[in-house]
Amino acid sequence: MKKTNEIKLRFPAKSVNEGFARAAVAAFTSLCDPTVEELSDVKTAVSEAVTNAIVHAYKDRDGQIDVNAAIYEGNLLKIRVKDRGIGIEDVGKAMEPLFTTAGDDRSGLGFTVMQSFSDKLQVRSRPGVGTTVTITKHIKGKETP
pLDDT digits (tens), the chain, 145 positions: 899 999 999 999 999 999 999 999 999 999 999 999 999 999 999 999 999 999 889 988 899 999 999 999 999 999 999 999 999 887 777 766 555 555 555 555 677 888 889 999 999 999 999 999 999 999 998 654 4
Which residue stretches of 30-109 are H helix? 36-52, 91-94
The domain locations on the chain are 3-138
Yes or no: is domain 3-138 CATH 3.30.565.10?
yes
Lay out the sheet containing 130-138: strands in order across.
3-12, 64-72, 76-83, 130-138, 120-126
90 vs 111: CA distance, rounded Å: 13
DSSP 95-115: TSTT--SS-TT--S-HHHHHH
Active site residues: 48, 52, 106
Cβ-contact 77, 69 below 8 angstroms: yes
